[in-house]
Amino acid sequence: MHVRPLGDRVVVKPKPREEKTKGGVILPDTASKERPMQGEVIAVGPGRHADDGKLIPISVEVGQQVLFAKYAGTEFKIDDEEYLILQERDLLGIIQEE
């Protein structure tokens, strides 16, 4: 199945939740794990329309690694895979490898 976001929305596959703390303590499934704030862009919408009717394209591309706001977006599942759909303004940055 494929999701094509509308407007200035972006579909992101979040990084898997951490199973260990930084100190090495293994977290059980029942523990409240922090929601990840990084993910890979899976799909992007066409962009948003300005007041004058011009289309403003989205500044991220499929495959890029991004940071997003902690409680932003809507979670959904397709084929047992978790995804987030966010508006472009909820994206905080693009992660670039050096």
Q: What is the mean pLDDT of each run of 10 residues along the chain (98 residues)?
A: 88 78 64 71 94 93 93 91 93 89
Asked if 49 and 75 touch (Cβ cutoff 8 Å), the reply is no
State residue 15's pLDDT score.
85
- Chain mean pLDDT for the chain: 86
CB-CB contact of 10 with 26 (8 Å): no
Identify the three-state secondary structure at position 80: coil
**Domain 9-16+34-93 sits in CATH 2.30.33.40:** yes
Q: What is the domain partition of the chain in residue ranges? A: 9-16+34-93
